A and B are shown apart, each in its own frame.
Chain A
């Protein structure tokens, strides 16, 4: 058996049925074997598309995304996607070809030191120089990508390792156990945490992406039902519990919902699960909730005390922690009387609702609300990055599990389209709704070809404001309206562009057209582009200015037309 055959057998054995990639010289032998295997390969139109698709696939399914690329430019085109997966803790195995071992270091054709390049943006990476090391490296890579806090792993494999043959029948894989992220003492800590929660007058639960990684939806639901503690989420945690009435208060942070941010700024105990307290949540981390008792639960010990001061650091995954905590609360028959606190939050929600100004122009928020109203079958919602992403976070109530996919940490424009493609391929038969902007859409638009080829049920709502909206907003607010290079003066005809790829396209120009076209788009089988010509001057509000406190939101309050600061 040669190395290429071993890799393909390995992937089959791990249950991989779908990979994304782009062939080239260094991986020809791998592709030769792959092409004869049972694994489906999606030929994207750019390696960046392949890695983002693998990312979207992994987020939508909970499985490990697998992505292939050739040496040199093929590998370097993966870099943005790897960094993206790394910051959002998505399990991905990226296999890149490398020039033959003899040619390494000679600046050979299509040679790039991808292991060196991706070292800071992978959970771990390998250059497998010898065929003998391949089985163990593959096994370890697969394990590392998934265990503990997931992340991307890259394996760089020289050409001659693909072609080299060996007798692999004798291979005994070391079942070496890696460092276990759990520490003892959880039971003792639970007792103390229970005491703190008992005394809490204004407790708040803050759920991050770690709750999704741990698959702790049921545990979270049980916990909140029992305790009645209100829940806020980060962008990555959006959708972990339903967002309609009585569910989550919504997202906190820079563009969080007013009531959620006010609850955050006033709570006396914050139970934070699976979150890394990014700067988009904390503002200035040194002044973050100085008077609040913070319980921080994360599977990665390095996240504890990294950004904010914490009273109770707990190393655990969210699922196990919630199960154990709820058990203690039930055994001790702890009851919570949180009515005054919940009433206060309700009063805030009433006084500071999430609104947007209506005029004769089409508003992006209105499009999102209409799509959410009509798309009733719990679609997977994917976004690109920018203003529209924040509008979706604020105005689109996500339902179901693993149904919200967005580039959180890295904020990668161009992520949306290929990620939506990966999600659709990972969950066949389910509708995917993609919101994207005219900026990000053009960064990876070539993947429309794949959408059309496989007739993927992806409904693309292209929020076109003819500018880079978030950049324009910051320039309006913080650079005295000096719109340096953020306004698109030319641009393609998006309808023709979609049609050129064989994708059905419609345009919404006026608010009154929204209902009908959204309905048509959702009913259409296969991919659709709906270009929404929206008010170019719309801003994402409320907004906590960079470095501000959660309560210092800029917005339009009490029906005023001008923007002012709350508190």
Chain B
């Protein structure tokens, strides 16, 4: 099933997240990720939703979302030229022997070390899904102690 990215502008009101999330649950749609935050307009929030489904499902999702009173606008930006970012925090085992190698790897990926413990490091990274995935894979051999990542945020390129 194809993953679709939807950019949804909603009124910044209490209950709006429940209304949107609840809609997905009761209609049996699967959310892969959901990120929500304020926009340049304080009264408006933007959600970036990643939904898996065929054309029929995505069309229904869009229409049902559009019926929600707080939803202002929905854009399916799956096929647009976009800048996509996720953020990753990862705590990886790093004894003296491994530390140098990890630092070199992280240089290649342009990640930042944000905490150093006696036996571990916390690494912060941002990037699109492919890059985040690659970072996680490259660190796996060292032993991942803890991992947290955000969902995807997207923005269409250019002046559109």
Contacts and interface: CB of A to CB of B under 8 A. Distances in A.
B157 interface: no
Contacts of B64: 302
Interface in B119-145: none
Contacts of B15: 115, 125-127
Interface in A265-324: 300-302, 305-306
A125 B64 CA distance: 16
B158 interface: no
A63 interface: no
A300 B69 contact: no
B60 interface: yes
A306 B18 contact: no
Interface stretch (A116-124, A217-225, A528-536): A116-124
Interface in B13-29: 14-15, 18-19, 22-23, 25-26
A51 to B, nearest CB: 20
B129 to A, nearest CB: 30
Interface string A474-491: 000000000000000000
Contacts of B19: 119, 124
Contacts of A119: 18-19, 22
Interface string B64-97: 1011110000000000000000000000000000
Nearest to B71: A179
A144 interface: yes
Interface in B26-60: 26, 56, 59-60
A333 interface: no
A333 to B, nearest CB: 37
A457 B74 CA distance: 50
Contacts of A116: 18
A120 B21 CA distance: 11
A177 interface: no
Contacts of B69: 124, 140, 144, 178
Given A119-B18, A119-B22, A129-B14, A301 B66 contact: yes
A211 to B, nearest CB: 21
The residue in A129, A178, A179, A300 that gathers the most chain B C-beta atoms within 10 A of its C-beta is: A179
A302 B27 CA distance: 12
Contacts, number: 33
B60 A302 contact: yes
A127 B14 contact: yes
A438 B69 CA distance: 41
Binding site secondary structure of chain A: mixed
A300 B66 CA distance: 10
B88 to A, nearest CB: 32
B17 to A, nearest CB: 11
Contacts of A124: 19, 68-69
Given A120-B22, A124-B69, A305 B59 contact: yes
Contacts of B18: 116, 119
Contacts of A140: 69
A313 to B, nearest CB: 11
B138 to A, nearest CB: 43
A127 B23 CA distance: 18
Nearest to A304: B63
Given A119-B18, A129-B14, A144-B69, A306 B60 contact: yes
A120 B26 contact: yes
B4 to A, nearest CB: 16
Nearest to B18: A119
B22 A300 contact: no
Interface in A159-191: 178-179
A309 B56 CA distance: 10
A301 B60 CA distance: 9
Interface in A97-129: 115-116, 119-120, 124-127, 129
Nearest to B68: A124
A301 B63 contact: yes
28 contacts: A115-B15, A116-B18, A119-B18, A119-B19, A119-B22, A120-B22, A120-B23, A124-B19, A124-B68, A124-B69, A125-B15, A126-B15, A127-B14, A127-B15, A129-B14, A140-B69, A144-B69, A178-B69, A300-B67, A301-B66, A302-B60, A302-B63, A302-B64, A302-B66, A302-B67, A305-B56, A305-B59, A305-B60
Given A144-B69, A305-B59, 6 more contacts: A116-B18, A120-B22, A120-B25, A126-B15, A300-B67, A302-B64
Closest 3 pairs between A and B when the two form their complex, measured CB to CB:
A302-B63, A120-B26, A124-B69
Interface of B: 14-15, 18-19, 22-23, 25-26, 56, 59-60, 63-64, 66-69
